[in-house]
Amino acid sequence: MLVLVFMLVPAAAMAQPSFSESVFIVPPTGQPDTVIRAYELCADEFRGVLLDSGDFVARNESEIESTVSQCTEDLSNPGYAQECMLNVSRAQVDWIFMLDLEDLGDGDVLLNGRGFQSATNAEVWSQREIVGGSDLRRVALEGCGPLAADFVASRAPDQPDEPDEPDVLEPDVPDVPDVPDTPDRVPDPVTVTPPVTVDTQSSCPWGDAQMVIASGNHVIINGQSYNVRGSSNRAQFESMLASCGLGVATVAFEQWRRRRRARNGMMAFILGLPYAWIPAIMAGGSSSTLEYAIMQD
């Protein structure tokens, strides 16, 4: 298993608070040249996505290399060097990232990104991705950028809800006294209009829901995919369900979203705790409930 460590370093010690964090990447040691080159490409892709996001700025790597150089003196023990780098750098950086590249065979490579917050020493981000191909350099180019993009997206706060529109007060209208019936004034006959039944499902964009799949960040209805990642997309989808009269489906969608968030929070413990599968099962059950509610509501 190959491990690459990424570190996001504060822009300056004791500096004023800033929304930008600088990036430092610890190079691997004791690896073949082909592996080191793959790491360098991966680091470039990861760092490029972070810089393009505008939340991070570049930093001269030599400013911290001298601190961690003591960890690489004994190249015969790469595991010790890695653990030493993590321990030494925690006091100097905001984030530490680890990327595992594991050959799964049959031409597939597993990329497992993990992010640790130095202040709490807690793993707060984890993402796994399988990339086809045995060429580590190509895998690094195709897989490390999306991993960094996922981390940037996970840091973005949910968009605030739009403020409610103020109530419009209508002017008071004085009551008009009733006029008694007279022989010259006959009250109009009462007309009863039967209620009109509206088929809410047929008025939905997807018509009558025949096939529903809730998976990942999308809900697919009759072959039409709806992106529900981010607060704005979720609000739009909930509004669509409500406009279709799918009240039960709206509640089921909210439960599915909350349990997916709980599952993502537990991903950090997949490698350490035996009960990490519980939120995943909960999310799967919620997706089945959501699919059934949309088709039956």
Write the pLDDT tens digit of every residue in 164-192. Answer: 555 555 666 666 666 555 555 555 665 55
Q: How confident is the model at residue 17, as a pLDDT?
A: 34
Cα separation of the two ends of the chain = 49
Q: Is residue 206 part of a domain?
A: no
Contact between residue 29 and residue 72 where contact means Cβ atoms under 8 Å apart:
yes
pLDDT tens for each residue of 234-261: 888 888 888 888 888 888 888 877 777 6
Residue 149 shares a structural domain with residue 7: yes
Tell me, what's the pLDDT at 19?
Answer: 44
pLDDT for residue 31 is more than 70:
yes
Residues 125-163: tens digit of each pLDDT: 888 888 887 788 888 878 888 888 888 888 776 555 555
Note whether 124 and 249 are same-domain residues: no
Residue 121 has pLDDT above 60, yes or no: yes
The number of beta carbons lying within 10 Å of the beta carbon of residue 85 is 21
**pLDDT over 80 at 89, yes or no:** no
The count of other CB atoms within 10 Å of the CB of residue 172 is: 6
Angle of helix 33-52 versus helix 136-155 axis, rounded to 10: 30
Same-domain pairing of 218 and 127: no
Domain boundary among 131, 154, 177: 154
Assess if residue 244 is contained within a domain.
yes
Task: Say how far apart CA 198 and CA 201 lie, in whole Å.
Answer: 9
| Spatial CB neighbours of 250, under 8 Å, sequence gap ≥ 6 | 238, 241, 242
Contact 115, 16 (CB under 8 A): no
More confident residue, 79 or 35: 35
Lowest average pLDDT, out of 7-11, 116-120, 207-211, 293-297, goes to 7-11
More confident residue, 233 or 81: 233
Residue 268 and residue 128 share a domain? no
Residue 24 and residue 61 in contact, taking contact as beta carbons nearer than 8 Å: yes
Res 275: pLDDT: 47
Q: Residue 149: which of 68, 233, 48 has the closest Cα?
A: 48
Q: 113 has which bridge partners? A: 99, 127
Tell me, yes or no, whether 46 and 127 share the same domain: yes
| Cβ within 8 Å of residue 85, ≥6 positions away | 5, 26, 68, 71, 72
Flag whether 256 is in a domain.
yes
Per-residue pLDDT for 21 more than 80?
A: no
Domain with 276, as residue range(s), is 212-296
Residue 196 counted as domain residue: no
End-of-domain residue from the set 88, 120, 154:
154
pLDDT tens readout for residues 267-276: 545 545 444 4
Both 244 and 114 in a single domain? no
Which of 130, 154, 178 finishes a domain? 154
| Number of folded domains that form the chain | 2
Residue 5, pLDDT > 60, answer no
Question: Within a 10 A sphere around the Cβ of 39, how many other Cβ atoms?
Answer: 25
Q: In this model, does residue 117 exceed pLDDT 70?
A: yes
Do 148 and 218 belong to one domain?
Answer: no
Q: Are residues 137 and 244 in the same domain?
A: no
Q: What is the mean pLDDT of residues 3-11?
A: 53
**What is the domain-level CATH number for residue 140?**
3.40.50
Q: pLDDT of 263-297, one tens digit each?
A: 665 554 554 544 444 444 444 556 677 777 787 76
Q: What confidence tier does 11 reach under pLDDT thresholds 50, 70, 90?
A: very low
The reply to whether 60 falls in a domain is yes
What percentage of residues in the chain have a pLDDT greater than 70?
54
Residue 13 lies in a domain: yes
Question: Residues 284, 140: one domain?
Answer: no
Q: Does one domain contain both 225 and 100? A: no
Amino acid code (one letter) for 147 = L
140 is a domain residue: yes
Better-scored residue on pLDDT, 104 or 297: 104
Name the residue among 62, 5, 69, 80 with its Cα closest to residue 39: 5
Tokens of 290: 């959501």
Does 135 lie in the same domain as 54? yes
Q: Answer whether residue 176 is part of any domain.
A: no
Residue among 62, 26, 66 at smallest CA distance from 46: 26
Q: Which helix (H) or strand (E) holds 153?
A: helix 136-155
Q: Which residues contact 40 (CB under 8 A, 6 or more apart)?
A: 27
Q: What is the mean predicted confidence (pLDDT) over 191-208?
A: 62
Mean pLDDT value across residues 1-17: 48
Average pLDDT score over residue span 213-238:
83
Task: Identify whether residues 22 and 149 lie together within a single domain.
Answer: yes
Q: Does residue 71 surpass a pLDDT of 50?
A: yes
